[in-house]
Amino acid sequence: MRIKSTFASHKIAALLACSVLLLSGCGKEEAANPAAAGGPPVFPVSTIKVEPDEARIYTTLSGRVAAIKDAEVRARVTGIIQSIEFKQGSVVKEGQLLFKIDPATYQAAVNQAAAALEQAEANAQSARLLAKRYSTLVKSAAVSRQEYDNAVAQAAQAEAAISQAKAALDAAQINLGYTDVTSPIDGIIGEAFVTEGALVSAASGTHLATVQQIDQVYVDFSQTTGELSNLRKALADGQLKQTETGMAVVQLEMGDGSLYPENGKLLFTGVTVNPTTGQVTLRSVFPNPQHLLLPGMFAQVRLEQGVNPQALMVPSQALQRTPDGLVKLLLVKDDKVVSVAVEEGNSVNGNTIINKGLSPNDEVIVEGFQKAQPGGTVKPIPWKKTSGEETADSNKSAEN
């Protein structure tokens, strides 16, 4: 009986020891995983550590494309259009014939003016000979001094009539030349606004066609005086510095969001403020060898303002916008989520510059913040861009 009692005692002791070990293991697992212990779950979030970096600052403004030269071809004489000598939408050269106006009446006017000139020259020849003859006779008193003076005056009037006839002939020839309507500039000609047989008027200056030179184009845009003041203040305070060349670089954002392959140059900044809009006008010029930019086209202009040498930037997707209009970021501090209000600045290649509210080495949640609540515990994981984001950013960097 003692042997059985001892065996039973040992068995009970062994069972108690196993229970203690199991309870100890469960306690450790609960301590390592709060969710297993009934606490709130720990979600993984993708984060980045913010470090100061150099950023080129751009402002985006709305602009319109305008041709470098925009010539309206108008009728300078009245008549009937005989023929159209160009293909609409084609490239034309300066002096190239575009329209032919019936020249018959103007040719007749030239002939009439030429005949009048011949008559004036004949009259002048007779008057000169008479004055010369009287110059000899007046010395011998064969003619009176008055008669001589009258002959000299008539000779002078005849010379003036020649000049008048020549001017009339020149005018007639000019009008005859206007019957050949030529291109005033090199460029691309648009549609013809008249057809053969149409009557055009010199008095109203009938619009025949338009020739535009677009190998280079202007892009006109406006900027508020407040933006200009803020820029000057930022440069004066050292928040921004001038670009290396000191020349403002202008870029165009196309309708599909891509950047135009050629950079432009800022020609001038207006010195007069529009009293209605409170804006000043700026003009830039862009190369346009492929004629991608057409007059009248709307474009978003990116104007380089300067360089921020110590910019704090975060991916734009990390910004949280509240219903009251505030902008916030979710930070991770000691594995806890902290919400901070920030002031956003310019956008640079998919990132947003944070002007206030962020410090160097802050850890910002970029992905997974939908499940992260302020005060909650999270597991930060370094954020990695997707291949699409990397390609887009690299393309923008190459374009910049």
Q: For the chain, give every domain's residue range.
A: 47-66+214-399, 76-101+179-205, 103-177
Of 309, 350, 352, 349, nearest in space to 327 by CA: 352
- Name the more confident of 332 and 57: 332
Tokens of 277: 């809009």
Of 33, 53, 9, 37, nearest in space to 352 by CA: 53
Q: Is the pLDDT reported for residue 121 higher than 90?
A: yes
pLDDT given for residue 31 in this prediction: 45
> What are the phi and psi torsion angles at 91 (to 5°)?
-85, 130
| pLDDT band (50, 70, 90) for residue 395 | very low
Of 295, 366, 298, 360, nearest in space to 329 by CA: 366
Question: Mean pLDDT across the stretch 227-240?
Answer: 64
Question: Mean pLDDT across the stretch 69-73?
Answer: 95
CATH code reported for the domain at 103-177? 1.10.287.470
47-66+214-399 and 76-101+179-205 agree in CATH topology: no
pLDDT given for residue 336 in this prediction: 87
- Listed in sequence order, the residues at least 6 apart from 132 whose beta carbon sits closer than 8 Å to its beta carbon are none
180-199 pLDDT, tens digit per residue, is: 999 999 999 999 999 999 99
Question: Mean pLDDT across the stretch 82-93?
Answer: 95
Question: Mean pLDDT across the stretch 219-240?
Answer: 71
Determine the 3-state secondary structure of 43 from DSSP: strand
pLDDT given for residue 137 in this prediction: 87
CATH code reported for the domain at 76-101+179-205? 2.40.50.100
Q: Is the pLDDT reported for residue 328 higher than 80?
A: yes
| pLDDT band (50, 70, 90) for residue 87 | very high
Cβ neighbours of 311 (radius 10 Å): 23
- Name the more confident of 391 and 61: 61
Tokens of 339: 């919400």
pLDDT given for residue 231 in this prediction: 62
pLDDT given for residue 271 in this prediction: 66
| pLDDT band (50, 70, 90) for residue 21 | very low
| pLDDT band (50, 70, 90) for residue 279 | confident
Fold entry, domain 47-66+214-399: Elongation Factor Tu (Ef-tu); domain 3 (2.40.30)
Question: Rounded distance, CA 152 to CA 119, Å?
Answer: 19
Q: Is the pLDDT reported for residue 355 higher than 50?
A: yes
Q: What is the pTM of this model?
A: 0.62
Q: Is the pLDDT reported for residue 11 higher than 80?
A: no
Q: Is the pLDDT reported for residue 353 higher than 80?
A: yes
Question: Mean pLDDT across the stretch 292-320?
Answer: 86
Question: Mean pLDDT across the stretch 43-52?
Answer: 88
pLDDT given for residue 26 in this prediction: 47
- Listed in sequence order, the residues at least 6 apart from 240 whose beta carbon sits closer than 8 Å to its beta carbon are 57, 231, 234, 305, 306, 307, 308
- Listed in sequence order, the residues at least 6 apart from 120 whose beta carbon sits closer than 8 Å to its beta carbon are 158, 161, 162, 164, 165
pLDDT given for residue 234 in this prediction: 62
Of 139-153, 203-217, 291-305, highest mean pLDDT:
203-217
Identity at 14, one-letter amino acid code: A
> What are the phi and psi torsion angles at 382 (to 5°)?
-55, 130
| pLDDT band (50, 70, 90) for residue 346 | confident
Question: Rounded distance, CA 84 to CA 87, Å?
Answer: 8
Q: Is the pLDDT reported for residue 10 higher than 60?
A: no
Of 387, 388, 376, nearest in space to 44 by CA: 376
